[in-house]
Structure 1
Amino acid sequence: MRIPCPICGMRDLREFTVRGAALPVPDGAVWNAAWDDYLHNRDNPAGESRELWYHGQGCGAWLVVTRDTVSHAVAGAVLAGGDAR
């Protein structure tokens, strides 16, 4: 599988580490149901998914990669930022 790093171009999967689903972080610092859901509950969809990937063997950027979890086809990648983490 090849991942299109916005900084380095097309790179091999082995240069990256996947963190998991790219979900918006809940507002506030007080523990509540939204934080519990964010930390402990995940969907496991078949099909298109947005995930956080770290380009540790390259530029060191965090990316949001859109890929199909069935075929592993990568639709694209953008630099992570804001509520993508």
Structure 2
Amino acid sequence: MLILTCPACGIAADETELHPGGEAHVARAGPHASEEAFSDYLFSRENPRGVHFERWRHAMGCGKWFHAARCTVTLEIFGTYRADCTAPPEALLERIRAARPGWSWRDFK
């Protein structure tokens, strides 16, 4: 069972109190985007074996959205952070790199 700490209210909640929201940090297609760009936005997602950044909602608690970094193989939770962040915090990325030497993910700008 996953237990994630909501960064908004600080409560450690198990997955029955949360609602998954898919991959975090997905570039949204604007209203004037091409059909191809909109299709990519809807259907193209990373599905890595390993560390993954996801969106979660504390549905049975404060109701806030947040992001979590976890391993899809071992279910290890590396940390959570607020949903208004455009990239994972550097401290979280360092924690992941320390646990998974050689790990890399997309570049955040």
CA distance in 1, matches of 2:85, 2:29: 12
Q: Give percent identity, aligned residues only.
A: 33
Q: Is the 8 A contact 1:47 1:69 kept in 2?
A: yes
Q: 1:13 Cα shift? A: 1.5
Post-superposition CA distance 1:15-61 (Å, at most 9, x none): 10101101333363213233321111122110011111010101111
CA RMSD of aligned residues (A): 1.9
Q: Is the 8 A contact 2:23 2:46 kept in 1?
A: no
Residue in structure 2 matched with residue 79 of structure 1 by the alignment: 82
CA distance in 1, matches of 2:30, 2:65: 23
Q: Number of residue pairs matched?
A: 84
Q: Which runs of 5+ in 1 are unaligned?
A: none
CA distance in 1, matches of 2:76, 2:32: 38
Q: 1:8 Cα shift? A: 2.7
Residue in structure 1 matched with residue 5 of structure 2 by the alignment: 4
Residue in structure 2 matched with residue 66 of structure 1 by the alignment: 69
Q: Which runs of 5+ in 2 are unaligned?
A: 88-109
- The structure with more strand, counted as a fraction of residues: 1
Runs of 4+ in structure 1 off by over 4 angstroms are none
Residue in structure 2 matching 1:57, options 57, 60, 82: 60
TM-score (norm 1): 0.83
Greater Rg by CA: 2
Q: Is the 8 A contact 1:19 1:54 kept in 2?
A: yes
